[in-house]
Structure 1
Amino acid sequence: MNRLFELLQFQGRPYLWAHATRSTEHFKGYYHWHQGCELLLVHEGAGKVIVNQQSYDIRRGMLFFFQPFQLHHVFVEADAATPYVRTVFHFDPAPLESGLAPFPRLQHLYMKLKQGTMAEQAFDLAEELDVLLPACEAFTRTQSQEAQGKQRVNDEEEAGLLLLQFLSAVNRRLAVVQPDNASARTPRYSEVIMQWVEAHYGEAFELERLSEELHLSKAYVSRVFQRETGSSLTDYIAARRMKEACRLLQTTDLPIRIIGECVGLSNTSYFISAFKKVIGSTPYKYKRNASQT
């Protein structure tokens, strides 16, 4: 498993920008989180995005919003004939939020997205691509001209305007798809499984117990989770446990032994080994580094 936390290197700018990045090879991705917000716009492709115990299909026009430090996973099926093309906009929230004040409706939408008070974090904006794609191309040209010394750019203003265009597109989409008219989607098996894990990751995991409570066979639980998310159930449980362990290490003075027990790993030696494998350092070193930042 790749390391869960990715430190975004903004290098003095309030954003990171990767426009129309193209992949032609299948990759399963990994569970991770990072500081800052992320907008992921799909130009082409197929696969799955896992976030907030929900599984979403990757397809043209989908926009995903990931909150700061939110666990998520992107699984992609791609080849030369069916590439995965996406634009990724990471941004530091603080510098851009002040620019939203003159637009109270969009500011309210943004705060709901950032604070996690909206049930959905994925939006089908296929009908908005005629607006969003040119906006992304114009932003890319502006960055290129600045890099060549042809134009001076106010990074916060340019990034803020781009964020407003994304939020406007989401707002228009929400105005069309009214909750009262939308039929409730039946949760996928993987989503039910993730909800069960959310309630029980602090306990010793027993596949047999999970399968009995969901009235599914053990083999089917593992198989359907892999098929619907592109990752193993074991990887998901490990990621969720280590995300909580990191939170406890950063925000409490609980002993390492107790933190291990809180995430369902009562064997302290095994917890330390699992933490180092996933995070890349021991819990002791992680806590020390976190206290120094």
Structure 2
Amino acid sequence: MNFFFENPKHEIYGIYGQSLAYAPHLHNHLELVGMIEGKAMAYVEEKVYEINSGDAFFIFPNQIHHYEKIADENYILLLFPMDILPEYTSVFHSKVPKSALIPGALKNRHVLRSMQEILALKDSTESGSYRDYLTKGYLLILFGQLFALSELEDTPHVDVQTVKLLLDYCIGHYKDEISLDQVATRLHLSKFYISHLFSQKLHLSYSDYIRSLRISEACRLLTETSLGITEISYQVGFPTPRTFNRAFLKYVGRTPREYRYQKKRPETIITIMEDH
């Protein structure tokens, strides 16, 4: 399970991916998934969705969400700041999708083509100074089509700032010994209220969330460094290597050693494809 951190830069992030699995998070960006093949579960606030081949799934800013992989996947993911599209500002600030899922959206040729072209333009040098204009044009077409295929409703009143404060604190301290009581004391919140937020908004317990952050960082260290597995287990916050191995197997489905071996093989995620 990976954690998707907020990207403060005013740029577009996009990938062709094969493992849609991100822990609960929220950010100020728009997020769009186009499931070309495969299946995944998605959670937005209190709602649960199943994303199937051909579906589109989009998240407005400051909506708590996460994903779980079900089957082999081939998808496109786009993430970008909403101020790139000032034409839709009033929509982004006051509306949210009644359903984040748009079944069969990729059958609309404008939707899939626009997503593919945005990725192709991202690192292209052929379009020169016109690349940004072309990208914005495809984004306008893309969301114009998605809005036409979906139903929007007024943004509900939720304590977004409290949830963001809680998640930010966990992200900054998950490597430490960080109990629910300690978090409640530091943030001046009731531990029962915190448990309620995790249960109702994130659909998992506080302890599961902390473990997911630790496992996510462990995956990064196993892939990007040569640190020993025991050292990694302590570095990400687990009290013992045995606890780390047990949690890693539960969340990732393989041991840390098996995961590192697999990741040393050729990468399966293509960040940019120039030809389609």
Cα distance, 1:241 vs structure 2: 8.2
- The one-letter amino acid paired with 1:89 is L
Candidates 103, 107, 115, aligned match of 1:124? 103
Unaligned runs of 5+ in 2: 171-182, 195-205, 215-276
Asked if 1:90 is matched to 2:79, the reply is yes
Contact 1:244-1:263 at 8 Å conserved across structures: no
| Partner Cα separation in structure 1 for residue 140 and residue 209 of structure 2 | 40
CA distance in 2, matches of 1:16, 1:72: 18
TM-score, normalised on structure 1? 0.50
Find the counterpart in structure 2 of residue 16 from structure 1.
Answer: 13
Relative distance call for 1:143 and 1:243 in structure 2 (3 A) is closer
Give, in angstroms, the shift of residue 129 of structure 1.
3.4
* Counterpart residue number, 1:285: none
Structure number with the bigger relative contact order (C-alpha 8 A, sep ≥ 6) is: 2
Residue-pair matches, total? 186
Structure-2 separation of matches of 1:140 and 1:257 = 45
Structure 2 residue 164 is the aligned partner of structure 1 residue 161? no
Q: Deviations over 1:19-42 (max 9, x none)?
A: x3234xxx7542122332111111
Which amino acid in structure 2 is aligned with residue 135 of structure 1?
Answer: S
Q: What is the root-mean-square deviation in Å for CA atoms of aligned residues?
A: 4.2
Could you tell me whether the CA contact under 8 Å between 2:56 and 2:106 is conserved in 1? no
Compare CA radii of gyration and give the structure with the larger one. 1
**Residues 88, 274 of structure 1: CA spacing in aligned structure 2 closer, same or farther, 3 A cutoff?**
same
Say if 2:13 and 2:80, in contact at 8 Å, map to a contact too.
yes
* Distance apart, 1:73 and its partner CA: 0.9
Find the counterpart in structure 2 of residue 42 from structure 1.
35
Identity %: 15
Could you tell me which residue of structure 2 aligns to residue 237 of structure 1?
Answer: none
Q: 1-side partners of 2:14 and 2:106: how far apart? A: 23
TM-score, normalised to structure 2, is 0.52
Give 5+ residue unaligned stretches, structure 1: 101-106, 180-198, 203-239, 250-254, 267-272, 281-293
Tell me by how many angstroms 1:122 deviates: 2.0
**Cα pair distance change 1:84/1:30, threshold 3 Å:** same
Q: Alpha-carbon deviation of 1:165?
A: 1.7
Partner SS state of residue 142, structure 1: helix
Alignment match, 2:6: 7
Residue 137 of structure 2 aligns with an amino acid whose one-letter code is: L
